[in-house]
Amino acid sequence: MNTKASQFDVSGCRSQGRPLSADLLAPLRESDFEAESDDLLRQRLHQDGYLLLRGVLDRDQVLAARMEVFERLAVVGEIAHPVSEARFTGASRRRETVDDLGRFWQSVSEGPALRMVSHGAKIQRVMDALCGEASQAHDYLFLRPGVPGQATDLHYDHPFFARGSESIYTAWTPLGDVPVVEGPLMVVEGSNHFNDLIGAARQVDYASNETPQVQLSTAPDELARQRGVHLLTTDFRAGDVIVFSMTLLHGSLDNHSSQGRTRLSCDVRWQPARDPVDPRYQGPTPSGTTGVGYAELNGAKPLTEPWHKR
């Protein structure tokens, strides 16, 4: 069994404003899409609930997607020049200059360089292999520019995406290098076997007319201690993808970059092509989870405004 994992600087890991204790942290196990068999990768995905595929995407294409997004955010005064440094200006002219925040965010989320990475031939090949059959991506894309101070609380994805298929995966892609200080994805080791929490998540079908609690109220460090597991993360690099199941608890570390750097990532759901796709996430104007389209996403708000926590 592959046990390759890269160490990272644990002192850079924070959650809910506090440093995480080193004994609670461990690196994500790494997989190699080109070198390992599809069977083995599927087995590991099933067992661990996730697969971290290092360097599977073209780094230059990922960096082009990053530039495309940050150029748009520079125009609304949120990212400073040169945009390659991803520094948040601390200000925004988005509300003043953009007619419709949802339409603006959809246009950023549908940039050609971004879609080449998120929905292109390489990730299609990866997801076909992991699904073990022809797969299909949702059109709706979650693009997440997280400025210092932002983080995502722990949750399962099942309540949002389980309507169309029983075999859905999230592909989370760092758009650039995302070291631990910039608040990358964090997953809870073994949480794909926490049947009590998964059972509760399976009861929830998130829709527009209700706002059920889908985030865990327990802090990540407390939960890890209670369950005797680690919080898994890594210094992500442009070209990496982490694929995980609807029943893996995940969130993010805090971004506490001292240089004011914005962490950028996207996440997209993939499923067997023969299963019906939840229409909320498909088509030229997907309605999204709550019916208001791209306007419901954190990214649709000016970067000066706080995230809601998923």
44: contact with ligand AKG by CB under 6 A: no
* 214, 310 contact by CB (below 8 A): yes
Among 176, 267, 270, 300, contact with ligand AKG (rule: CB under 6 A): 267
Q: Which one, 77 or 179, has the nearer CB to ligand AKG?
A: 179
Separation CA 171–CA 241 (nearest Å): 7
298: contact with ligand AKG by CB under 6 A: no
170: contact with ligand AKG by CB under 6 A: yes
Backbone angles phi, psi at 201, to 5 degrees: -65, -35
123: contact with ligand AKG by CB under 6 A: no
CB burial readout 112-130, b (16+ within 10 A) else e: ebbbbbbbbebbeebbbbb
Token digits of residue 136: 């299909």
Helix, strand, or coil (residue 270): strand
Among 15, 252, 257, 271, contact with ligand AKG (rule: CB under 6 A): 252
Q: Which one, 98 or 246, has the nearer CB to ligand AKG?
A: 246
118: contact with ligand AKG by CB under 6 A: no
236: contact with ligand AKG by CB under 6 A: no
By the 10 Å C-beta count (0-12 exposed, 13-18 middle, 19+ buried), 238 is classed as buried
Size of the site for ligand AKG (CB under 6 A): 11
262: contact with ligand AKG by CB under 6 A: no
Separation CA 200–CA 218 (nearest Å): 14
265: contact with ligand AKG by CB under 6 A: yes
Cα distances (angstroms) measured from residue 243 to each of 104, 124, 250, 277, 297: 28, 12, 12, 19, 21
Helix, strand, or coil (residue 185): strand
Among 94, 138, 144, 261, contact with ligand AKG (rule: CB under 6 A): 144
Distance of closest approach, residue 31 Cβ to ligand AKG, in angstroms? 18
185: contact with ligand AKG by CB under 6 A: yes
240: contact with ligand AKG by CB under 6 A: no
Q: Which residues bind ligand AKG (CB under 6 A)?
A: 144, 152, 157, 170, 172, 185, 250, 252, 265, 267, 310
